[in-house]
Structure 1
Amino acid sequence: MNETNQTNICKDIEILLDLSPTCFVRIPRPNFTDCDKALSIYRLILVNCYIEKLFYPIAAILVIIGTILNLFSLYCFLKMNKRNSQNVYLSVLSLTDTINLQVNFTIPLLRKIDKIDDMFDDSYILCRAVGFLTEFFLIFPTWIVVLLTLERLICILLPLKCYSLYTHKRAKISIFILALTVICLCLYRFFDLKGIDQVNVFSIAACDDK
């Protein structure tokens, strides 16, 4: 009876492999004795395969929509007649979010193409530079929001001093200091493989330690 069940399980796995051969490239077929344990694993692989087929096109569409909307926001902020410190922060935020989409989404999507992925694997400087930019644009926009929130808080607490404390020039200085600080924090990516972007949905391998 057990042998019959094992045979049926192995047949189920063969059906899975035959129905979706592209999902099981380079995955060996299990031995007869391994079928019982392998069936659930192969089912998970198949589910992951179909999720990937949906995920990457949806991610690409969201990147395109996000890029267009961010650039439109940037255009609107730059064209405003009354430009204050808040507009400066929002303009920089729109720009950095646009770059963030390209660095953290477009590049990983392109690296699913073998030739492009090989370029990163073969170029030590390119791979490390992208790692640096990835981490920078994950951190920098977040702290732009913090600066903007802090400004709004002070304007609520000290409304009479708000316009004197937060000028167009001071906003630019704050952003410049923030950018330098984040750059210094992210420089380690040129010397260390590990960073906050290594755990991501795209499963991009870290740079080779050459």
Structure 2
Amino acid sequence: MAASAAVQLLGLSLSVVGWAGVILVAGLPMWRVTAFMEANIVVAQTTWEGLWMSCVVQSTGQMQCKVHDSVLALSGELQAGRTLMVMGALLGLVALLVTVVGAQCTTCLRGGRLKDWVAAAGGALFVACGLLVLVPPCWFAHNIIANFYDPNVPQSQKREMGAALYLGWATAALLLLGGGLICASGVCKGELSAFPVKYAAPRRPPTATAASNGDYDKKNYV
């Protein structure tokens, strides 16, 4: 039981860190950054593009950000990225509440199979959250790489993968790993508790003294 609780707590900690990372990644503007094709060119500014805003960083260190004006005027990948990241953040919140209710370290429910299966359901929701969060970074990375090697795209419009994509992959991995640990701990504990093992004390054979006393008593009664 102690090992199952430790695994569940580890999975919950990883999932909470991953869920916080989802919120951070969704707000970062560094999904796409300016691609520098030649190293000998002195660049005066760098462009960052995110889901909600785009920023221009000057060589002096000054940064100016502008929120996207129209939602309908955004590209399909930006709209899908926003939707999936928001859904992932909300689903992670629901998964956190369900897991806390079914966790072994809380007293929201009485211990039993129901509590273990509730914790397993929370872990499954964390896994689903990780899958949702994994889609936007992969989609952005595919489009960035395709445009980078496309000769028809001007060099001024070529972009590179930003730090937010790598953080998105890391948070998705944490959610998948943490949710898997929670599911494994809850299901395994539930299966073990469903089949209790009963131990019976072995019978001792009668000793020679007891047998002789029994024979002596029988003789006296006869």
TM over 0.5: no
Which structure is larger by alpha-carbon Rg, 1 or 2? 2
Higher relative contact order, chain-length normalized (CA < 8 Å, sep 6+) = 2
More helix by share: 1
TM-score (norm 1): 0.37
